[in-house]
């Protein structure tokens, strides 16, 4: 197991600050782990000891009877340093500090955060956070999070080929929820918060060696290592939603997680040079995830466009050329076959405009798609159907 792998595959988890109190954050990971069927060992830690949700509770990490792979620290900021020290002394592999009030809160918080890193590094323990919402590993039902997303009866936790790593906790799990609505197989989700020690790129780098992962989706507020990104993108298709394009947005990112700003045009160039894809919003990030999950790649850059609208065809041409793709030159035989079925006021060359004739001729659009798909000069097709609805689209 790699150093950060317990975030999604831990065999033992301690929750420091665990409680039975309804609605308390320290209860939610316990609820989720039990409800979703985690099969590893769970160690609630609370100074009062006793039992919590049917599990034996321990008054301190020193009382836990085995070395724990993953510890969730869910105590007030003033108590975090002692909790990190206790975890380090107990030989914990990875400690996730969910508490807030550190670098994002000003200079004093930044100094306190630096102390946490010193404590962790002295023992070789990895530190995630602070100011994060934890992680999820679908294969082993690791629910190391207090995100309310997992309180919903509709939320599923399953093995899947996509990994979602987000510096923002709430945005990360909001994206996880949207991915589920779209049927995307997100099997690993990790939030990194202030990144005092472990970073989103470091987490993604470890995940990128996993053969079961087909793609990596990242939300970042800072980009600290182009070399790390290049390595990730060389192993797995990678899409990045990088916040802070504007000056005001960069300032907001700094106040949110303490992220360092970079000039946006430099970030754009760096991401492209690393071989990753930069997207502009969550929906586009999920679009990239859908493509990665299909595990299909283009045979080349030659793209054909089949549309029911001349306007949408023109927009598609602009979009593909902006991405460095080429408008395919259709074979004369394909053009001749299209001319036999497309109205004279349409267009049988690329972009192929089938026109609104599809409204009165069921199957026309599908027939044109099949003709273009058979063309040896076409590597991919963009289908634009502005006047098709319901079963016709299917």
Among residues 137, 282, 159, the alpha carbon closest in space to that of 218 is found at: 282
Contact 72, 13 (CB under 8 A): yes
Fold classification of 1-132 (topology level): Rossmann fold (3.40.50)
Q: Count Cβ neighbours within 10 Å for each residue of 266-276 and write b for 16 or more, e otherwise.
A: ebeebbeebeb
Q: What are phi and psi of 337, to 5 degrees?
A: -65, -40
Domain ranges of the chain: 1-132, 160-296, 302-392
Residue closest to 19 by CA, chosen among 36, 31, 34, 35: 31
pLDDT at 103: 93
The H or E element that residue 321 is part of is helix 310-322
Quick one: CA torsion of 266, 272, 274, 277, rounded to 10 degrees?
120
Topology of domain 302-392 in CATH is Rossmann fold (3.40.50)
**Domain covering 160-296 assigned CATH 3.20.20.80 in the classification:** no
Distances in whole angstroms, Cα of residue 20 to Cα of each of 14, 45, 54: 15, 12, 10
Between the alpha carbon of residue 40 and those of residues 11, 69, 290, 316, 362, the distances in Å are 5, 10, 31, 50, 55
**CB-hemisphere CA count at 13 Å for 195?**
25
394 residues of the chain, pLDDT tens digit each: 689 999 999 999 999 999 999 989 999 999 999 999 999 999 999 999 999 999 999 999 999 999 999 999 999 999 999 999 999 999 999 999 999 999 999 999 999 999 999 999 999 999 999 999 999 999 999 999 999 999 999 999 999 999 999 999 999 999 999 999 999 999 999 999 999 999 999 999 999 999 999 999 999 998 888 999 999 999 999 999 999 765 555 555 555 555 555 578 888 889 999 999 999 999 999 999 999 999 888 889 999 999 998 899 999 999 999 888 999 999 999 999 999 999 999 999 999 999 988 888 888 999 999 999 999 999 999 998 876 545 554 4
Q: Tally Cβ neighbours within 10 Å of residue 65.
A: 9
Nearest CA among 338, 341, 321 for reference residue 330: 338
């Amino acid at each position: 197991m790699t150093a950060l792998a317990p975030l999604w595959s831990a065999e033992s988890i301690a929750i420091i600050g665990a409680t039975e109190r309804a609605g308390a954050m320290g209860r939610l990971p316990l609820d989720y782990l039990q409800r979703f069927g985690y099969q590893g060992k769970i160690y609630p830690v609370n100074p009062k000891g006793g039992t919590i949700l049917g599990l034996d509770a321990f008054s301190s990490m020193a009382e836990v009877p085995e070395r724990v792979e993953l510890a969730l620290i869910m105590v007030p900021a003033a108590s975090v340093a002692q909790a990190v020290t206790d975890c380090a002394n107990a030989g914990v592999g990875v400690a996730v500090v969910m508490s807030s009030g550190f670098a994002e809160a000003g200079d004093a918080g930044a100094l306190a955060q630096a102390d946490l890193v010193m404590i962790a590094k002295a023992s070789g323990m990895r530190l995630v956070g602070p100011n994060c919402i934890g992680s999820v590993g679908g294969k082993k039902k690791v629910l190391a999070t207090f995100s309310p997303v997992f309180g919903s009866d509709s939320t599923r936790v399953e093995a899947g080929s996509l990994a979602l790593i987000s510096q923002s906790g709430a945005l990360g799990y909001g994206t996880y929820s949207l991915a589920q609505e779209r049927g995307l197989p997100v099997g690993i989700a990790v939030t990194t918060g202030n990144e005092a020690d472990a970073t989103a790129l470091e987490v993604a780098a470890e995940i990128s060696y996993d053969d079961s992962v087909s793609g990596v989706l990242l939300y970042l507020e800072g980009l600290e290592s182009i070399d790390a990104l290049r390595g990730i993108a060389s192993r797995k298709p990678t899409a990045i939603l990088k916040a802070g394009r504007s000056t005001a947005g960069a300032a907001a990112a700094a106040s949110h997680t303490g992220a360092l700003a970079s000039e946006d045009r430099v970030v754009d160039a760096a991401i492209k040079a690393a071989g990753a894809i930069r997207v502009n919003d969550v929906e586009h990030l999920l679009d990239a995830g859908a493509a990665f999950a299909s595990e299909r790649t283009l045979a080349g850059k030659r793209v054909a466009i089949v549309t029911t609208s001349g306007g949408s065809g023109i927009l598609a041409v602009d979009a593909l050329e902006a991405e460095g793709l080429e408008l395919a030159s259709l074979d004369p035989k394909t053009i001749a076959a299209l001319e036999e079925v497309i109205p004279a006021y349409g267009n049988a060359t690329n972009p192929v405009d089938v026109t609104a004739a599809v409204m009165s001729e069921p199957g026309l659009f599908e027939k044109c798609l099949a003709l273009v798909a058979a063309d040896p000069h076409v590597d991919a097709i963009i289908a634009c159907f502005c006047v098709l609805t319901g079963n016709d689209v299917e």
